[in-house]
A and B are shown apart, each in its own frame.
Chain A
Amino acid sequence: MDHASAPLAGELTEPESRHLAPEEVLERLDSLSVGELRRLRLIEQRRLAGTDFSPGLLYQEAVCQALVGERHCPREVSFVAFLAQSMKSIASHRRKALSRQVPTSKVDGSGNLVDLPIAADQLDPEETLIEREAADVVAEIYKLLEGDDEAQLTIMTIADGKKGKKLRDELGIDQARFDYIMKRIRRAVAKKHPKGWPT
């Protein structure tokens, strides 16, 4: 199983009283509604890219880690959001582990080992490749939403690091409008990236 750091939901190791006890985790797990399970399935689906998890296994890993106490659900966090966050974190760790196996060299036609072309001023070739791939995906997402200025502006503001109320204020919209825009973004992205993106 996996591990994590940083004070994110699902990754804390503070006193038990601040987190759900194992029997409470079981209780919450058994109480998930059909709607919540569907949301988790949709979120799992778009976290699979770049991992070797088949559908269902990422969710299984998240549940398993919660049950054995490798990840703790803070009391103030909804259990569904905790599982979503755990899946995100587990997938991210898995991607990183797999990316370490990505070759930065290849065998050429004559059988010689040659380095893949990477900018010479970069210190970490692996990180450079990942960043380049991410830049391509960002450009592609803007293109997917061509003609939808509102959606493009929203993505631009999110990419700028804004969240929650600050994000909506910057866009000058209310929550309902924001939800509607996000729905359009979600659907456009899902068509091109049904399993999310591998970064």
Chain B
Amino acid sequence: MTNKRKSTDELRDLSDEIDDSILGASDAEVSEELASLGIDPEKVAAEMGAIAQEAKRLAGKSRLASAKDAVSTFRSNPPIAPQGDRTALRSRLQRMRSGRPGGNDGLMMAARKGKDMSASDEEGALDDLAQLEALESEDPEASKE
């Protein structure tokens, strides 16, 4: 004994078979069927191409919006290093500066014409370092690159 299937399931299966049969139909059959629905088969490729271009534009916009959201979320919740960690970060920063070839970290100081970092510059660098460490802890692979 079998239970009667739901009509919605029957229709779904029929619809799927029709889609499959369209995918397997000949080009001539497909063109004929489009024409019978009032769709000019000769114009379809150009129309679908234009739609795909628009989809690419929208997808690009959507990805950009997601990236902006992610950056903004990250910036609105910057990792705050506790005082103890800040001391460790300060030592790490000192090591980075002294370990750089050519001595007194010319790269970071280029904008200050070789002068030392101000206190606020150093605090900013520590914030950046804290964010970098937070990122590395989220993605351990990134630190190996």
Residues of A near any B CB (own CB < 8 A): 1, 26, 29, 32, 34-35, 37-43, 45-46, 56, 59-61, 63-64, 67-68, 80-81, 84, 88, 130-131, 134-135, 137-138, 141, 155, 158-161, 163, 179, 182-183, 185-187, 189-191, 194, 196-197, 199
Nearest-CB residue, chain A, relative to B49:
A37
Q: Which of A39, A46, A199 contacts B8 (CB 8 A)?
A: A199
- Taking the complex as formed, is B108 at the interface, i.e. its CB lies under 8 A from any CB of chain A? no
Asked if A38 and B27 sit within 8 Å, CB to CB, the answer is yes
Asked if B37 and A45 sit within 8 Å, CB to CB, the answer is yes
- Distance in Å: Cβ of A160 to nearest Cβ of chain B: 7
Nearest-CB residue, chain B, relative to A34:
B45
- Distance in Å: Cβ of B33 to nearest Cβ of chain A: 6
Q: How many A-B residue pairs have CB under 8 A?
A: 140
Asked if A38 and B30 sit within 8 Å, CB to CB, the answer is yes
Q: Give Cα A67–Cα B58 distance, bound, in whole angstroms.
A: 9
- Distance in Å: Cβ of B135 to nearest Cβ of chain A: 21
Q: List 22 A-B contacts (CB under 8 A).
A: A26-B56, A29-B52, A32-B48, A34-B45, A38-B30, A42-B34, A42-B37, A43-B19, A43-B23, A59-B48, A63-B51, A64-B55, A67-B56, A68-B63, A68-B66, A88-B15, A130-B8, A137-B11, A179-B24, A182-B18, A183-B29, A196-B15
- Taking the complex as formed, is B107 at the interface, i.e. its CB lies under 8 A from any CB of chain A? no
Contact with A along B7-39 (1 / 0, CB 8 A): 111111111111101111101011101101101
Contacts of B80 in A (CB 8 A): none
Residues of B near any A CB (own CB < 8 A): 5-19, 21-25, 27, 29-31, 33-34, 36-37, 39, 41, 44-45, 47-49, 51-52, 54-56, 58-59, 62-63, 66
Given A34-B45, A161-B13 in contact, is the A186-B23 Cβ separation under 8 Å? no
Contacts of A199 in B (CB 8 A): 8, 11-12
Task: Label chain A's interface by main secondary structure.
Answer: helix
Q: Give Cα A67–Cα B52 distance, bound, in whole angstroms.
A: 10
Asked if A185 and B44 sit within 8 Å, CB to CB, the answer is no
Contacts of B54 in A (CB 8 A): 60
